[in-house]
């Protein structure tokens, strides 16, 4: 690598000086010395390294340190750790040197931020292993997560230097794990920027389209906000409040997310127009009461939308977020969302973790909310789990998902993930209550253990000393705590049965002067159709496999088929068929094309023409199939996931499963592109809404038939009160034909909207 130029070194020193001078949390000379020493070591260690962009590498840890200091507000220890966060991983500096020169705390943080290197199980994921290790260090110091988020934020800000495929992988990982994690830590500004940048690099066309819509409406939006704010400012001033009131721009990602998940156009997003009121509370009066007083002043001016009131001052979010949100009818018939916060609430909302600790002594409730979340993280980390992918997915499901709050019989609040059941609640109370649960009462009504809870439910668990844990309980629960406790109990019971069965078999064999051997166990496994010796022992222990016919089974000769099998293996006269190729053919969607290289597609399914294929950046023949979870069609933006068996699943790039695979298995993602076909067709589903006038249904079907000569699979139309809604499934060749059809349908008089819906079948997961 080229040595640093004099100009580059000057710029590096200038930026470090900017860090030192701008950091308000350097309170002593020892703090300053720690940061200076950390910088000098990092500068020396990274002196010969450059980033993909060509700039000196040291600028990256400097930028991360600035985010930590200026945007989050952590102190000297965190800044030093941020400056050193890559030296152990990327240079020859050992962790012991960090520990010796900077202390145990900095060493713990740096170790947590150092990626794992080495050999892992082939079915594991390096990305998932790295994430798990980082979280394990969370049990020692939560600042590991904060610095990792700052590191990811700077990497996302400088992603342009990487290849398109690398950008997509990192952006998918960010939206899957890091943006939700920032949300959980209360770092809303960082969370929003991570989401926007992820959308920008995963779907650049969509990002630019939404950005353009925002910019086109900017002047109109600003005028409406000004009109809205003027009387509010006058009212609050007259009431004696010291406050700031500002327009709050909605992030690009949140606009896109609402348009997608609610199926609404840009103009119908309620909180597109939003203002934030941050005021200085009156000492001695509860802040909650003062927020409601401000709410009262605003609703004296504007009419509130009753189903759009969000009260997070009475019951804060799990990450400590507090605010009162209300949507009111503003000028020109436009809805405006108003966020009401005190200064303390605003700082916690913007700086999350750091602000929690600042207000530690004065707001014990806020600290306890974060403590509860960290306690749940540590509970998950204490659960033994060899599968890193399963760990990360369960972590995301339990700690990133939306939540409900339910009540115990005594009125205590318990926070659980959405879709949690009565059995989850039982295990949340105590493991023994979960293990002995037999039913529940929800709002005084008897329900089964798999009953899904809603926010506000009051739950009582009915237990029995005679109740035993059942394997199907794993399907009843969603929390990691419940799953882990059930799995441990099942393993313990299986171990007991296995040991009992082994003792029973050994005792029975001893009657014939025999001892267990591989040959004897093989005969017994074949006779009783079990997969391994542990299953054999377990079934003997349960009484499902008897030993009365033991002598008869042992006298039988080894079946001829096994002799032939081993002969073929030894002499190499035959090879096993590829299970993956067979499955690829079996799983091809009805009416759809095989996805893959022409040569491999033909071998995967001889009954289907290979005229429509997806090409992969791989020189070797590979079997392809379209994923059933999102059913992509030619023209959709797609990616390929290559399983360990060699089969490539084609997913829409926006498919949630695809995002999860990219986040956990980035090295298994292959670039793919469609090669158009005029022979085969793909199943799509469209939704139509409009005015139920005479002959509208026949016009729709005629337009489909005449426009594309397309085959309709199903059609379902229903009208009521002059309005109709319909759903049609039909076969098209590609997205261009589909877009043409949608345009034709929209031209029919009375049609209000036509849009494509996802056809989601069973979920595809990495093989």
Higher-pLDDT residue of 678 and 587 is: 678
Residue 391: pLDDT band (50, 70, 90) is low
Residue ending a domain, among 675, 709, 731, is 675
Q: Which two tokens stand for residue 695?
A: 């002959």
Residues 564 and 697 in one domain: no
Which backbone phi and psi does 504 adopt, to 5 degrees?
Answer: -65, -40
Tens-place pLDDT, residues 199-235: 999 999 999 999 998 888 888 888 999 999 999 999 9
Point out the least confidently predicted range of 39-53, 58-72, 79-93, 487-501: 487-501
Nearest residue to 322 (alpha-carbon basis) of 334, 299, 340, 302: 340
Cα angle: 368, vertex 456, 346; to 5 degrees: 40
Beta strands across the sheet bearing 712-720: 712-720, 723-732, 682-691, 751-757
Point out the least confidently predicted range of 267-276, 326-335, 372-381: 372-381
Residues 223 and 176 in one domain: no
Distance CA(43)–CA(62), nearest Å, equals: 10
Give residue 360's pLDDT: 53
Name, of 72-81, 630-639, 670-679, the range with top average pLDDT: 72-81
Domain that holds residue 238: 211-368
Distance CA(705)–CA(698), nearest Å, equals: 10
Give residue 510's pLDDT: 82
Give residue 150's pLDDT: 94
Q: Considering the domain boundaries, does residue 588 fall inside one?
A: yes
Average pLDDT over residues 295-306: 93
Residue 727: beta bridge partners? 687, 716
- Asked whether 155 and 178 are in contact (CB, 8 A), the reply is no
Does position 736 have pLDDT exceeding 70, yes or no?
Answer: yes
Residues 719 and 744 in one domain: yes
Residues 152 and 128 in one domain: yes
Higher-pLDDT residue of 15 and 616 is: 15
Tens-place pLDDT, residues 149-181: 999 999 999 999 898 888 998 998 898 888 888
Residues 200 and 57 in one domain: yes
Q: Which two tokens stand for residue 92?
A: 């020859």
Point out the least confidently predicted range of 60-69, 307-316, 325-334, 531-540: 531-540
Residue 520: pLDDT band (50, 70, 90) is confident
Residues 52 and 135 in one domain: yes
Residue ending a domain, among 571, 589, 610, is 571
Which CATH number covers residue 75? 1.10.3210.10
Does position 27 have pLDDT exceeding 80, yes or no?
Answer: no
Residue ending a domain, among 368, 390, 406, is 368
Higher-pLDDT residue of 732 and 603 is: 732
Say what angle helices 143-157 and 76-83 make with each other, to 10 degrees: 50
Distance CA(20)–CA(4), nearest Å, equals: 22
- Asked whether 99 and 107 are in contact (CB, 8 A), the reply is yes
> Which residues, at least 6 apart from 671, have a Cβ–Cβ distance to it below 8 Å?
165, 616, 617, 639, 640
Residues 21 and 158 in one domain: yes
> Which residues, at least 6 apart from 510, have a Cβ–Cβ distance to it below 8 Å?
none
Residue 563: pLDDT band (50, 70, 90) is very low
Average pLDDT over residues 473-494: 84
Nearest residue to 190 (alpha-carbon basis) of 21, 74, 27, 341: 74
Point out the least confidently predicted range of 238-247, 296-305, 507-516: 507-516
Distance CA(399)–CA(2), nearest Å, equals: 45
Residues 18 and 147 in one domain: yes
Tell me the CB-side half-sphere exposure of residue 64, using CA atoms within 13 A.
Answer: 28
Distance CA(121)–CA(135), nearest Å, equals: 20
Beta strands across the sheet bearing 445-447: 445-447, 437-442, 459-463
- For 153, 207, 380, 654, the CA distances from 193, given in Å and listed in that order, are 8, 13, 28, 19
Q: Considering the domain boundaries, does residue 76 fall inside one?
A: yes
Give residue 525's pLDDT: 86
Active-site residue numbers? 89-90
Give residue 763's pLDDT: 41
Average pLDDT over residues 346-360: 68
Higher-pLDDT residue of 589 and 144 is: 144
Give residue 766's pLDDT: 39
Residue 358: pLDDT band (50, 70, 90) is low
Give residue 184's pLDDT: 75
Q: Considering the domain boundaries, does residue 531 fall inside one?
A: yes
Residue 2: pLDDT band (50, 70, 90) is low
Residue 121: pLDDT band (50, 70, 90) is very low
Give residue 593's pLDDT: 35
Does position 620 have pLDDT exceeding 50, yes or no?
Answer: no
- Asked whether 613 and 601 are in contact (CB, 8 A), the reply is yes
CA distance from start to end of the chain: 41
Higher-pLDDT residue of 26 and 36 is: 36
Distance CA(524)–CA(505), nearest Å, equals: 11
Which backbone phi and psi does 13 adopt, to 5 degrees?
Answer: -65, -40
Does position 745 have pLDDT exceeding 80, yes or no?
Answer: yes
Q: Considering the domain boundaries, does residue 375 fall inside one?
A: no
Q: What is residue 338's DSSP assignment?
A: E
Q: Considering the domain boundaries, does residue 462 fall inside one?
A: no
Average pLDDT over residues 469-495: 84
Which backbone phi and psi does 742 adopt, to 5 degrees?
Answer: -60, -40
Give me the count of residues in the chain. 767
Tell me the CB-side half-sphere exposure of residue 646, using CA atoms within 13 A.
Answer: 16
Residues 228 and 179 in one domain: no
Higher-pLDDT residue of 678 and 563 is: 678
Distance CA(279)–CA(241), nearest Å, equals: 7
Residues 719 and 671 in one domain: no
Name, of 528-542, 568-582, 671-685, the range with top average pLDDT: 528-542
Residues 559 and 689 in one domain: no
- Asked whether 546 and 733 are in contact (CB, 8 A), the reply is no
Name, of 135-149, 192-206, 212-226, 528-542, the range with top average pLDDT: 192-206
Mean of the per-residue pLDDT values of the chain: 78
- Asked whether 112 and 134 are in contact (CB, 8 A), the reply is yes
Distance CA(570)–CA(547), nearest Å, equals: 34
Give residue 712's pLDDT: 81
Q: How many domains does the chain have?
A: 5
Q: Considering the domain boundaries, does residue 459 fall inside one?
A: no
- For 275, 277, 324, the CA distances from 291, given in Å and listed in that order, are 15, 10, 7
Which CATH number covers residue 276? 3.30.460.10
Give residue 396's pLDDT: 56
String of b and e for 188-208 (b: at least 16 CB within 10 Å)?
bbbbbbbbbbbbbbbbeebbe
Average pLDDT over residues 389-409: 66
Question: Is beta strand 613-616 parallel, antiparallel or unpaired with respect to 638-642?
Answer: unpaired
Residues 197 and 227 in one domain: no
SS (H, E, C) 528-562: HCCCCHHHHHHHHHHCCCCCCCHHHHHHCCCCHHH
- Asked whether 282 and 307 are in contact (CB, 8 A), the reply is no
Residue 56: pLDDT band (50, 70, 90) is very high
Distance CA(534)–CA(330), nearest Å, equals: 69
Point out the least confidently predicted range of 217-231, 250-264, 331-345, 555-569: 555-569
Distance CA(168)–CA(191), nearest Å, equals: 18
Nearest residue to 375 (alpha-carbon basis) of 481, 453, 482, 477: 481
Give residue 579's pLDDT: 33
Give residue 586's pLDDT: 32
Does position 615 have pLDDT exceeding 90, yes or no?
Answer: no
Does position 123 have pLDDT exceeding 50, yes or no?
Answer: no
Nearest residue to 538 (alpha-carbon basis) of 517, 558, 553, 524: 524
Name, of 357-361, 479-483, 582-586, 665-669, the range with top average pLDDT: 479-483
Q: Considering the domain boundaries, does residue 374 fall inside one?
A: no
Say what angle helices 343-351 and 188-202 make with each other, to 10 degrees: 40
Q: Which two tokens stand for residue 230?
A: 């003027």
Give residue 392's pLDDT: 60
Q: Considering the domain boundaries, does residue 417 fall inside one?
A: no
- Which parts of 537-695 are beta strand (E)? 613-616, 623-626, 638-642, 647-652, 669-670, 672-675, 682-691
Residue 760: pLDDT band (50, 70, 90) is low
Does position 296 have pLDDT exceeding 90, yes or no?
Answer: yes
């Amino acid at each position: 690598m080229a040595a640093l130029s004099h100009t580059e070194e000057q710029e590096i020193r200038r930026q470090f000086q900017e860090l030192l001078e701008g950091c308000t949390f350097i309170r002593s000379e020892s703090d300053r010395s720690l940061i200076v020493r950390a910088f000098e070591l990092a500068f020396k260690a990274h002196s010969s390294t450059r980033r993909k962009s060509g700039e000196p590498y040291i600028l990256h840890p400097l930028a991360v340190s600035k985010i930590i200091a200026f945007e989050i507000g952590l102190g000297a220890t965190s800044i030093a750790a941020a400056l050193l966060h890559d030296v152990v991983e990327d240079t020859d500096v050992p962790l012991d040197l960090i520990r010796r020169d900077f202390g145990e705390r900095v060493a713990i943080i740096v170790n947590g931020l150092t990626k794992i290197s080495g050999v892992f199980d082939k079915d594991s994921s390096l990305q998932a292993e790295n994430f798990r290790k980082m979280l394990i260090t969370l049990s020692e110091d939560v600042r590991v997560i904060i610095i990792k988020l700052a590191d990811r934020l700077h990497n996302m800000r400088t992603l342009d230097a990487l290849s398109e495929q690398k950008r997509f992988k990192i952006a998918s990982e960010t939206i899957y794990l890091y943006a939700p994690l920032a949300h959980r830590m209360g770092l809303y500004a960082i969370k929003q920027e991570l989401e926007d940048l992820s959308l920008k690099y995963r779907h650049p066309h969509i990002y630019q389209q939404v950005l353009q819509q925002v910019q086109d409406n900017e002047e109109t939006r600003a005028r409406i906000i000004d009109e809205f704010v003027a009387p509010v400012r006058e009212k609050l001033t007259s009431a004696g409040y010291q406050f700031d009131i500002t327009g709050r721009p909605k992030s690009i990602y949140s606009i896109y997310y609402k348009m997608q998940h609610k199926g609404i156009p840009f103009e119908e997003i309620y909180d597109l127009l939003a203002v934030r009121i941050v005021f200085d509370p009156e000492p001695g009066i509860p802040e909650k009461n003062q927020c409601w007083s401000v709410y009262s002043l605003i609703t004296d001016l504007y009419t509130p939308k009753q189903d759009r009131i969000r009260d997070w001052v009475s019951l804060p979010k799990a990450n400590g977020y507090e605010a009162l949100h209300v949507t009111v009818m503003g000028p020109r018939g436009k809805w405006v969302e108003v966020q009401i916060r005190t200064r303390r609430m605003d700082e916690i909302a913007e700086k999350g973790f750091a602000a929690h600790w600042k207000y530690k002594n004065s707001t014990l409730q806020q600290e306890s909310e974060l403590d509860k979340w960290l306690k749940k993280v540590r509970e998950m980390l204490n659960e033994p789990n060899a599968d890193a992918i399963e760990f990360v997915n369960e972590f995301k499901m339990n700690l990133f998902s939306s939540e409900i709050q339910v009540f115990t019989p005594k009125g205590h609040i318990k926070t659980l993930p959405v879709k949690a059941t009565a059995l989850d609640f039982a295990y949340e109370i105590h493991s023994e209550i979960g293990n002995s649960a037999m039913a529940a009462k929800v709002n005084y009504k008897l329900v089964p253990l798999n009953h899904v809870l809603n926010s506000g439910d009051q739950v009582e668990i009915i237990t029995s000393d005679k109740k035993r844990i059942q394997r199907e309980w794993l399907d009843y629960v969603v929390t990691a705590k419940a799953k882990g406790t059930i799995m441990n109990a099942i393993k313990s019971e299986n171990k007991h049965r296995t040991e009992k069965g082994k003792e029973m078999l050994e005792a029975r064999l001893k009657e014939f002067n025999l001892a267990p051997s591989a040959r004897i166990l093989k005969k017994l496994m074949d006779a009783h159709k079990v997969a391994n010796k542990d299953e054999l022992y377990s079934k003997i222990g349960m009484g499902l496999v008897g030993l009365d016919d033991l002598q008869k089974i042992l006298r039988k000769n080894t079946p001829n088929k096994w002799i032939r099998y081993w002969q073929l293996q030894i002499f190499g006269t035959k090879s096993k068929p590829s299970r993956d190729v067979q499955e690829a053919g079996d799983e091809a969607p009805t009416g759809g094309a095989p996805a893959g290289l022409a040569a491999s597609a033909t071998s995967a399914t001889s009954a289907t023409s290979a005229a429509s294929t997806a090409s992969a950046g791989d020189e070797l023949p590979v079997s392809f199939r379209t994923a059933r979870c999102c059913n992509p069609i030619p023209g959709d933006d797609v990616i390929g996931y290559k399983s360990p068996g060699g089969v490539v699943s084609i997913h829409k790039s926006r498919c949630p499963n695809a995002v999860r695979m990219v986040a956990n298995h980035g090295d298994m993602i292959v670039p793919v592109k469609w090669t158009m076909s005029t022979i085969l067709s793909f199943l799509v589903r469209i939704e139509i809404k409009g005015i139920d006038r005479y002959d509208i249904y026949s016009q729709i079907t005629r337009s489909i038939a005449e426009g594309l000569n397309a085959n309709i699979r199903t059609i379902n139309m229903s009208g009521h009160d002059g309005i109709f809604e319909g759903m049609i499934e039909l076969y098209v060749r590609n997205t261009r034909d589909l877009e043409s059809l949608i345009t034709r349908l929209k031209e029919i008089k009375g049609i209000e909207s036509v849009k494509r819906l996802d056809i989601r079948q069973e979920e595809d997961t990495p093989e």
